[in-house]
Structure 1
Amino acid sequence: MKFAAVLNRDGGTLRTIDLAAFSDRLHQTLEAAGHSVSIDIVAGKEIVEALDTAASRSAVDVVLAGGGDGTISAAAARLMGKKKALAILPAGTMNLFARGLGIPQSIDAAVSAFADGEIIAVDIATANGRPFVHQFSIGMHAKMVQLREKMEFGSRFGKIRASAKAAWATINNPPTMNVTLHIGEVEMATRITGIGITNNLFGEGHLPYADNPAGGVLGIYVTVARQRAELIKFFFNMARGKWRDNEHVEIHQADRVVLKIHSGSRKFRAVLDGELIKLDRETTIEIHPGALNVLVPASVAKEKAA
């Protein structure tokens, strides 16, 4: 296969390693397995243009994207509905979409897995037409990201510490919003502190990622927790993958959801795959089954096919 690797030197763990040495290992590993690879190392502000170029090259079979959540989401958006596959180099903080695909969390181990990997089709979702691979969220998560972005951190662990501080601040002053959700034929009007709408249902007993990335459904997680003790329990259960143990979380599933905001939306934001975006008064979220080709370890492809 012909790989085009796009590495965000400002994103995730890639900014902390020797990229020249890693690029040499990437070349050696893939070429030893009979593949060819071109590598483009770019700054964060250049990543979209570089991904556009890689995705448009007719001879390329796989676009290998390395960086944080924003880089991976941008790459997936450009490959949605195309024959080319996405290979995810897990260089972000949590790498949740990569975890759901069974990709090793070490970047060198991931490259080795790609050398004899196989291409499978998985789902991708959109929010008002904008693609996402993991989650669209409002309320507590969006406020937490807003607070975290005001903090300084220079490493993965620094980001984790900043996230913990932002989570505690959010627990002590949670946002509340009046919303209406149209889920299939059901209309639900409620006051919430948070909603997460995910590309497939999260699995239980681990970090929040989908066990089946080709399940064909959106997961809709609605929380109305407001008291400090309730919110602490919510965050604790979320981290452990114990969604169903929390009496303040409702879980639904559908292939299409319409979210309407009745509170003053100007002061609120949404988070799309870790990136803050404008929150519209009305957002239609849909899942697109099998619309994204991804390169996964051969063992994972066999497991999914079984």
Structure 2
Amino acid sequence: ATANGRPFVHQFSIGMHAKMVQLRQNMEFGSRLGKMRASAKAAWQTIKNPPAMTVTLTIGEAEITARTTGVGVTNNLFGEGHLPFADNPAGGVLGIYVTVARQRAELVKFFFNVARGKWRDNEHVEIHQTERAVLKIRSAARKYRAVLDGELIKLEDEITIEIHPGALNVLVPRHAMRAKAA
């Protein structure tokens, strides 16, 4: 998929995820366990003071305006019952997840459900799917950031997100191809 022409393999997100990544980048950690602790600390800081923004999301002919704490767009829909990843990487659709959770208890429940892969169990998450979406940031009070496959990037006021089925070429070792043919 692409966000304003910039490719991503897994996810593009704004709001809570971007704030967590930004907070974690300002922390020091020297190991994988340290990074996990820093991520938990950043998540708690985000829950205590979540970002809120007004966005307009255009999916086909529908236009949705919402006050949200986060929007995630995934390359194919996330599967249920496990950590967030697509069960069908060749699905050919964008998964769009909009959270309207604002209260601390709602946000804790949201994070807990995300960790368990229970998106559809959370009444504060709207799930959409499409091949193309336009996301417009309506909150001009401050500049927000986005996360593209884990990398913090500047967020433009309007983002066109499109999926490109079959566009990812994967190199495999020759011996793996022979084993598959056998």
TM-score between both structures, scaled by the size of structure 2: 0.93
Q: How does 1:109-124 map to 2 (within 5 A)?
A: none
Q: Deviation of residue 295 (structure 1)?
A: 4.8
Q: Work out the CA distance in 2 between the residues paired with 1:288 and 1:224.
A: 28
Is 1:267 paired with 2:143?
Answer: yes
Residues 192-201 or 265-274, more deviating: 265-274
Q: Work out the CA distance in 1 between the residues paired with 2:112 and 2:14.
A: 19
Q: Deviation of residue 267 (structure 1)?
A: 2.4
Q: Work out the CA distance in 1 between the residues paired with 2:93 and 2:165.
A: 8
Is 1:221 paired with 2:62?
Answer: no
- In the other structure, the counterpart of 1:165 is 41
Q: Work out the CA distance in 1 between the residues paired with 2:58 and 2:170.
A: 31
- In the other structure, the counterpart of 2:75 is 199
Q: How does 1:54-203 map to 2 (within 5 A)?
A: 125-203=1-79
SS of residue matched to 2:12: strand
The alpha-carbon distance between structure 1 residues 244 and 290, as it changes in their structure 2 partners (threshold 3 A), is: same
Q: Work out the CA distance in 1 between the residues paired with 2:17 and 2:48.
A: 14
- Residues paired across the two proteins, number: 176
Letter in 2 for 1:232: V
CA contact (8 A) 1:136 1:270 kept: yes
Q: 1:212 aligns with which of 84, 88, 113?
A: 88
Q: Deviation of residue 294 (structure 1)?
A: 2.2
Q: Work out the CA distance in 2 between the residues paired with 1:266 and 1:190.
A: 17
- In the other structure, the counterpart of 2:121 is 245
Q: 2:166 aligns with which of 266, 285, 290?
A: 290
- Structure showing greater relative contact order (alpha-carbon pairs closer than 8 Å, 6 or more residues apart): 2
Q: Deviation of residue 293 (structure 1)?
A: 1.9
Residues 266-275 or 222-231, more deviating: 266-275
Q: Deviation of residue 278 (structure 1)?
A: 0.5
SS of residue matched to 2:65: strand
TM-score between both structures, scaled by the size of structure 1: 0.56
Q: Deviation of residue 266 (structure 1)?
A: 4.5
Q: Work out the CA distance in 2 between the residues paired with 1:281 and 1:267.
A: 9
Q: Deviation of residue 265 (structure 1)?
A: 6.7
- In the other structure, the counterpart of 1:121 is none
Deviations 1:189-232 (A, max 9, x none): 11000000000000001110001110000000000000011000
SS of residue matched to 1:244: helix
Q: Which stretches in structure 1 are left out of the alignment for 5+ residues?
A: 1-124
Bigger helix fraction: 1
Q: Work out the CA distance in 1 between the residues paired with 2:19 and 2:13.
A: 10
Moved over 4 A (4+): 295-298
